[in-house]
A = this chain, B = another copy of it.
Amino acid sequence: MDQKRTEIAQLGEFGLIDRIKSNFSLQNPTSLKGIGDDAAVIDIGTENVLISTDMMLEGIHFDLAYMPLQHLGYKAVAINVSDIAAMNGKPEQIIIGLGLSNRFSLEAVDMLYEGINAACKNYKVDLVGGDTTSSSSGLVISITIIGRAAKEKTVLRSGAKNNDIICVTGDLGAAFLGLQILEREKQVYQANPQMQPDLEKYEYLVGRQLKPEARMDIVYELAEKNIVPTSMIDISDGLASELLHLGKNSNTGSKIFEDKIPIDALAYDTAIEFKIDPTTTALNGGEDYELLFTIKASDFEPLKNHPDIHFIGHMHDNVNQNVMISKQGTVVPIQAQGWKHF
């Protein structure tokens, strides 16, 4: 064919999403929010229904050499729950598309569903349907999640205002470092199958990679304190990328302080061991599934002593100016991360 060929990588993930979005317009009055947030928002009267989907492909998103099927099932649900958490919603149902090659036995499928079931119980989500089919290559898991939120409590990426405080839950970078550990041990094992992987020391990091949790606990705690974030997103691609999303959608800039970014002590040491700047793992590592959100200054007081919420900076009016103040006091621009998968 002599047709023009443009590689998708030239646009990148966000360019492709923008392109798709620009070609589609919404026709149904119930479609309140389409492409471009953690979940779509559908009007059902007094409440909103929230819908989001995540697809995981073998060889791209997971490696069964070190990802037990139970953990994979759990993670596939958790990362979808995380999208509903990022809308300040409550997850209720999931529907699963599953592609299985004949490499997978019934026992393997049972293990996968054991993990899915454990996550469903933990997050109080119902599996209500799906489509299971064979696959000519590897394992494909596509989960769509349905959640709900009261109209006035639905939090988009677009509501942050000047001076809002930027908050992040948990700690960042550990999931990325867990993946580095698993990759290293896999290579050691492949070189010499007699060598047993030594993961004990890195248990926390490996656990963050293999069995992430959605921060529904934070969503429920904020609700108890009657605090509605002004904007929110879950951290799947790294703090830098998510912060830029909030700024772009809210039409604000952001300023964060490197010394306020929460990094676990083991993650810090392990980053040094891998000769990676610990801050880089937090900014660009991804897969932490923590929540990044903004609050009005007046909501700071009831949260200020929360052990698992960290206040890392604030929004400001200089759109497109997103900066980090380093530990040395220098101003570092926050860079968008490209798409890891293409």
A6 touches B128 (CB 8 A): no
A104 at the interface (CB under 8 A from B): yes
Other than the known A28-B125, A45-B46, A51-B128, what 19 A-B pairs have Cβ atoms closer than 8 Å? Answer: A6-B106, A17-B132, A24-B117, A24-B127, A27-B125, A27-B126, A30-B92, A31-B126, A35-B130, A40-B129, A42-B93, A44-B45, A51-B129, A52-B95, A54-B131, A55-B140, A97-B142, A133-B341, A137-B137
- Chain B residues lying within 8 Å of A61, measured Cβ to Cβ, are 133
Question: What number of copies of this chain does the assembly contain?
Answer: 2
A131 touches B55 (CB 8 A): yes
> CA separation between A8 and B120, bound complex, in Å?
23
Most chain B CB within a 10 A radius of its CB, from A47, A107, A144: A144
A99 with B57, Cβ < 8 A, contacts A3-B107, A44-B45 known: yes
- Chain B residues lying within 8 Å of A102, measured Cβ to Cβ, are 7-9, 342
A306 at the interface (CB under 8 A from B): no
- Chain B residues lying within 8 Å of A128, measured Cβ to Cβ, are 26, 31, 33-35, 40, 42, 51
A57 with B7, Cβ < 8 A, contacts A40-B93, A127-B35, A128-B35 known: no
Distance between A244 CB and nearest chain B CB, rounded to angstroms: 18
B126 touches A34 (CB 8 A): yes
Residues of A within 8 A of B (CB): 3-11, 13, 16-17, 19-20, 23-24, 26-28, 30-31, 33-35, 37, 39-40, 42, 44-47, 49, 51-55, 57-61, 92-93, 95-100, 102, 104-107, 109, 113, 117, 120-121, 124-138, 140, 142, 144, 146, 148, 341-342
- Chain B residues lying within 8 Å of A4, measured Cβ to Cβ, are 107
> CA separation between A99 and B124, bound complex, in Å?
29
- Chain B residues lying within 8 Å of A131, measured Cβ to Cβ, are 53-55, 142
20 examples of A-B residue contacts, CB within 8 angstroms: A7-B106, A11-B106, A19-B106, A24-B120, A27-B120, A28-B124, A28-B125, A28-B126, A30-B92, A31-B126, A31-B128, A34-B129, A35-B130, A40-B93, A42-B93, A42-B128, A44-B45, A51-B128, A55-B142, A134-B341
> CA separation between A4 and B55, bound complex, in Å?
29
B42 touches A142 (CB 8 A): no
- Closest-by-CB residue of B relative to A114 is B23
- Chain B residues lying within 8 Å of A16, measured Cβ to Cβ, are 106, 109, 132
- Chain B residues lying within 8 Å of A42, measured Cβ to Cβ, are 49, 92-93, 128, 146
- Chain B residues lying within 8 Å of A30, measured Cβ to Cβ, are 92-93, 148
> CA separation between A127 and B51, bound complex, in Å?
11
- Closest-by-CB residue of B relative to A40 is B128
> CA separation between A46 and B45, bound complex, in Å?
10
